[in-house]
Amino acid sequence: MSKILIIAGTRPEIIKISTLSNYLSSNILFTGQHFDKEMSEFFFTLIKEQNLIRLESSNYEVGEHEGFINDIKRKLLEIGPSSVLVQGDTNTTLYGALAAKSLGIKINYIESGMRSRDINQIEERNRIIVSGLADLNFCNHIINKENLLSENIDERKIHISGSTVYSVLYENNLLNQQKNDIEDKFILLTLHRPENVDHEEKLMDLLNSINLIGEKVIFIIHPRVQKSIEKKHLESFKNIHIQNPKNYFEFINLIKNSMFVISDSGGIQEESAILGIPLLIPREFTERPEMLNKFNLLVKSREQVLKESNKLINGDSEIQKIDKNELLYGKSEVIKNIAERLI
């Protein structure tokens, strides 16, 4: 088997590539783009410890792309992989691809072809650039392939693999676990995108509308939210219960036991759909439109948040009629399909 190096820098990336890394016995170069010891160490348990390589210089400020890329290049020269594998739309994804390209190393790209059509998002720009750089693009869905073809990506470089999220849930026995016997019904809430949390007034307005739903809401608070709003302000919402970040298994358990989820996370769009839990997305756009009005809905205003939440609570929402067999992202063969193309 050729020597494949996986480059990752965030917790979601570690989750999504964990089963593939273990299947291939590939090393993972972890850049530490998002790192805190308490949270990240758990996610490292999802992969084989001997396969983890840490980038020495791991704390980069926004805009320090040259140093970031050069540090990755030094590691690539030291390790000497035949190809690299990147996933998603983070700066690690982009810088890993740029570093590899500058050294003539082949690039494999997981989750290629997702498009929100909002070029103002740095994530969207990263997706477009990396798709063009990649030697092999792995897509979750036919819509992603169509996006790449419309951008004149060679069809021979495109493969519909399905989502690695499904394989992570499958391999860790998280698909068929029974719900816990939780008496309290609750709505699960997460927020982290700059457009939702970087401005206190807008965040407070959104939280106020969620509080008015009148049901218990468990808010898994992201470090970005903690930086932008005082805890005492959050505590003013009587129906919103603040909890610290969870490890992956705990968080999946919360999704499965919730009435429905409100989140601006792309990854949770996949997880909630696969688990059959309705999702409301407080965003203007999504890079996963294939699930809209089937598994989840965009809610672009506080009025929509309240309206659609009440529909879900009253059993009147179309997205409650989810057919769990209508899986959009492949099944347990996802990792095998990707591996066969890589070998």
Q: For residue 321, what are the CA distances in angstroms to 103, 294, 296, 317?
A: 50, 8, 11, 8
Query: Please, are residues 278 and 312 in contact by the beta-carbon 8 Å criterion?
Result: yes
Task: Return d(Cα 112, Cα 139) in angstroms, integer.
Answer: 5
Residue 289 main-chain phi, psi, to 5 deg: -70, -15
For residue 104, how far is the Cα from the chain centroid?
Answer: 28
Query: Nearest 10 degrees: CA dihedral of 207, 209, 214, 215?
Result: -50
Q: For residue 164, what are the CA distances in angstroms to 81, 94, 155, 161, 302?
A: 22, 19, 21, 8, 33
Residue 309 burial (C-beta neighbours within 10 Å; 0-12, 13-18, 19+): buried
In this structure, the number of other CB atoms found within 10 A of the CB of residue 171 comes to: 16
User: Looking at 154-273, which runs of residues are DSSP E strands?
Assistant: 158-160, 187-190, 217-220, 240-243, 261-263
Selecting among 192, 199, 222, 233, the annotated active-site residue is 192
Beta bridge partners, 218, equal 188, 241
241 is catalytic: no
The residue behind tokens 């994804």 is 93
Task: Return d(Cα 317, Cα 261) in angstroms, integer.
Answer: 14
Task: Return d(Cα 15, Cα 102) in angstroms, integer.
Answer: 27
Query: Which residues are part of the catalytic machinery?
Result: 192
